Structure 1
């Protein structure tokens, strides 16, 4: 029980543990409750912090769980951002920034156009069959190209953060070097049976992943893009493209009206 701490934050009283408050030692709360720095107390003997009491609920829940769980249609993200900065909880600051980006990504009218194309590429490689015995083999593979344009750069950044290139044994964000904030161009190959893993690196062949799933074709890619887009308020444009283009997986247009 000696670990319990009662706080008066802007008039709202919270009870928690000292270990929760010091979960991030470099934060303001971590310093306040792990050192001998004098701390103000109210008339009831509660530690007093002159900040927004209502918002502290989210600060405390993050300290408990390391997750930022906000109500639907949360309207005070800017206030929460200021409070996170005041308490200097770096993981929370990052989580609030991410949440702010997601809110902005779904908060305006937008149009997104996706053009899909593919080609066949032949690769040549050697396989060691025995000591000093090598065979020269060839394999044809599909190369997939997706050109994504969106008038909302914030949403496009949100979308791009969900996809990763797999290359040389590592995953890297697809838009880390994007020069155009409103456009992402992806080019990747599907996995090919019999092609040694080192050949993907040697021949500069990138594969695409979304979450924990490899994208081996347009069907998976389109499915994942639509999931992300519809969760952010987009819907299929009923007037474009023509049915033949859509059925051939050539062009997809989505719109969002707020």
Structure 2
């Protein structure tokens, strides 16, 4: 169980001693306070100088609910002030997202330079790459108690739609782009989807839009989460335009047709062409399965 550090548990940075153990999304790292506070104006700098309260897991590790595997590269950058990525690294977009969350500005600049100088941009990619998509929607009946008073509860019933998407793509970098474009909406804030197994090039999404008749606390109690879509490239190009940025704020995906539309927008922009649609090629937005090939 995770617990917020309380005053009794000496949660401020002065109580931390080297080495510091972190649990980042289930991955355990050991480092020093000097490394973690190398960028004082970053989120990590704020956490480990006592400006932001921290969570701890049951073993006492400082817990951060972010992508644990990608954090390795963030930590290495803080140690050496150099962005050294393995050959064939295909998660640069995810790394940029994490660096932005932690607000490590020098690292963000390094990532942008790497993206600009990459010999093979995302819009290149392998010809013949295949994207296969299966979509599903199930309706579930949910019963819950609505509190009317201290000892007065009313039994309510509502239906929720559970959307599920299974994507397989032979071009792994495109799945990374989708993980940046789509986000889960959770009580803790936006959360990036994660591939089930990066080696299998597969990404599964499941989300439940909240119906109006379901109170937010009951929705959260069921551990449901919504799905939003954004345009990272558009937001990047107009970062200084507050009005334009507001228009590009993440939009809720409330039906499967909107998801398919956004998926087509992303895939067609990267050179994919629709190869087959089931059940009706003339009604692609209501498909149950879809195959695209990069030309």
TM-score, scaled to structure 2: 0.52
2:196 to 140, 161, 178: 178
> Does 1:107 find its partner at 2:125?
yes
Distance across 2 between alignment mates of 1:113 and 1:243: 14
Q: Give CA deviations for 1:175-215 in whole Å, capped at 9, x if unaligned.
A: 1x632341101111122112111222211111111121100
> Does 1:91 find its partner at 2:135?
no
Q: Give CA deviations for 1:8-32 in whole Å, capped at 9, x if unaligned.
A: xxxxxxxxxxxxxxxxxx8xxxxxx
Distance across 1 between alignment mates of 2:190 and 2:165: 19
Distance across 2 between alignment mates of 1:154 and 1:185: 15
2:255 to 217, 242, 246: 217
1:138-177 to 2 correspondences below 5 Å: 138-175=157-194
1:31-110 to 2 correspondences below 5 Å: 89-98=106-115, 100=118, 103-104=121-122, 106-109=124-127, 110=129
- Helix, strand or coil at the partner of 2:125: coil
Task: Identify if the C-alpha distance between structure 1 residues 172 and 127 changes in structure 2 by more than 3 Å, giving closer, same or farther.
Answer: same
Distance across 1 between alignment mates of 2:262 and 2:252: 11
TM-score, scaled to structure 1: 0.59
CA contact 2:182–2:228 (8 Å) conserved in 1: yes
CA contact 2:278–2:287 (8 Å) conserved in 1: no
- Helix, strand or coil at the partner of 1:221: helix
2:152 to 129, 133, 137: 133
> Does 1:234 find its partner at 2:272?
yes
Task: List 4+ stretches of structure 1 deviating above 6 A.
Answer: none
CA contact 1:101–1:158 (8 Å) conserved in 2: no
Distance across 1 between alignment mates of 2:119 and 2:149: 55
CA contact 1:246–1:252 (8 Å) conserved in 2: no
Give the superposition deviation at 1:130: 2.9
Task: Identify if the C-alpha distance between structure 1 residues 172 and 193 changes in structure 2 by more than 3 Å, giving closer, same or farther.
Answer: same
Count of paired positions: 169
- Helix, strand or coil at the partner of 1:244: coil
Give the superposition deviation at 1:105: 5.6
Q: Give CA deviations for 1:30-74 in whole Å, capped at 9, x if unaligned.
A: xxxxxxxxxxxxxxxxxxxxxxxxxxxxxxxxxxxxxxxxxxxxx
Distance across 2 between alignment mates of 1:107 and 1:218: 27
CA contact 2:132–2:289 (8 Å) conserved in 1: yes
What are the ranges of 5 or more consecutive residues in structure 1 without an aligned counterpart? 1-25, 27-87
Distance across 1 between alignment mates of 2:264 and 2:120: 16
- Equivalent position of 1:49 in the other structure: none
What are the ranges of 5 or more consecutive residues in structure 2 without an aligned counterpart? 1-38, 40-104, 231-249
Task: Identify if the C-alpha distance between structure 1 residues 195 and 101 changes in structure 2 by more than 3 Å, giving closer, same or farther.
Answer: farther
Q: Alpha carbon RMSD of aligned pairs, Å? A: 2.6
